[in-house]
Amino acid sequence: TKHLLGIKNITESDIQLIFETADNFKDVLNRPIKKVPSLRDITIANVFFENSTRTKLSFELAEKRLSADVVNFASSSSSVKKGETLIDTVNNILAMKVDMVVMRHSSPGAPHFLSRNIKANIINAGDGTHEHPTQALLDAFSIREKLGDVAGKKVAIIGDILHSRVALSNIFCLQKLGAEVKVCGPITLLPKYIESLGVQVELDVKKALEWCDVANVLRIQLERQQIKYFPSLREYSLYYGINKKLLSQIDKEIVIMHPGPINRGVELNSDVADSEHSIILQQVENGVAIRMAVLYLLAGVK
């Protein structure tokens, strides 16, 4: 395929190829000279219509490590503010001879729409509440690194599942790789269709933790909520917040993950986020190698 729009439409062997390529790039990133010439003739635009720290910086670093030329676009300081459309914006960027577009947008399906209307390769860096494919790839890659394999592992995704593109892409990715997935959160934050995806639902966070090998903890996404939030953040943290005291009641070692940004003291306390259980910063580190692999593999497909 020419684009990476989501995990739903790629295969297990595509994912394994991305992992094997990322293994090689991770070795490169651990060398004193971290740069390779692979994308020397490629120009990439990072087009962000929504805020980002990790995804934007790690795509930019991945592109620079591959020797691509890079331009960055943030809608907040662009002519989008004067009323320019998405397609005009991207076509104007492409007129400057850009080969690949990495795009984050608040509307689900925005990169899919673009892929039907423009010539460049497109990588979805998060489209609203829909998918965040490179996050799911780096999450599964980090589980594989920590536990040896993803197949057969039990992964609980805990938090605001309803508004989370990370949850959906993780579910598709983990299932394709043979993991068992359970989602956990208050009923108001679980989408009605969730069981149709073949995941189990658990409303009790302690039971979810007792069941899992890995807990991927998600942020409450207040910015995506149209109605007054229920439960409140204080109630959420009381009933679903993960802290050291709760983990000490579980009779096994659990790997704690979080895609970031963390709302410390809400879904995750610092005594867990910064503990030996957490692989949160390893996830961020792996994000660069995964994004290098995706860019490298797509660059060859016109």
Binding-site residue ranges for L-aspartate: 82, 165, 219
In the complex, minimum distance from the CB of residue 207 to ligand CP, in angstroms, rounded to a whole number? 27
In the complex, minimum distance from the CB of residue 280 to ligand CP, in angstroms, rounded to a whole number? 10
Q: Which is nearer to ligand CP, 180 or 267 (CB)?
A: 267
Owner of token pair 């709302």: 263
Q: Which is nearer to ligand CP, 134 or 175 (CB)?
A: 134
In the complex, minimum distance from the CB of residue 7 to ligand CP, in angstroms, rounded to a whole number? 15
- As annotated, the binding site for carbamoyl phosphate includes 54-55, 104, 132, 135, 260-261
In the complex, minimum distance from the CB of residue 287 to ligand CP, in angstroms, rounded to a whole number? 8
Q: Where along the sequence are the contacts to ligand CP (CB under 6 A)? A: 52-56, 126, 135, 259-261
Q: Which is nearer to ligand CP, 210 or 274 (CB)?
A: 274
Q: Which is nearer to ligand CP, 141 or 211 (CB)?
A: 141
- As annotated, the binding site includes 54-55, 82, 104, 132, 135, 165, 219, 260-261
Distances (CA, A) of 115 to 37, 103, 110: 27, 11, 9
Q: Which is nearer to ligand CP, 111 or 259 (CB)?
A: 259
In the complex, minimum distance from the CB of residue 28 to ligand CP, in angstroms, rounded to a whole number? 23
Q: What sign does the CA torsion over 166, 168, 171, 177 have?
A: negative
Complete DSSP assignment for the chain: ---B--STTS-HHHHHHHHHHHHHHHHHHTSSS----TTTT-EEEEEESS--SHHHHHHHHHHHHTT-EEEEEEGGGSGGGGT--HHHHHHHHHHTT--EEEEEESSTTHHHHHHHH-SSEEEEEEETTS--HHHHHHHHHHHHHHHS-STT-EEEEES--TT-HHHHHHHHHHHHTT-EEEEES-GGGS-TTGGGGT-EEES-HHHHHHH-SEEEE----GGG-SS--SS-HHHHHHHH-B-HHHHHTSSS--EEE--S---BTTTB-HHHHTSTTB-HHHHHHHHHHHHHHHHHHHHT--
Q: Which is nearer to ligand CP, 56 or 65 (CB)?
A: 56
In the complex, minimum distance from the CB of residue 64 to ligand CP, in angstroms, rounded to a whole number? 17
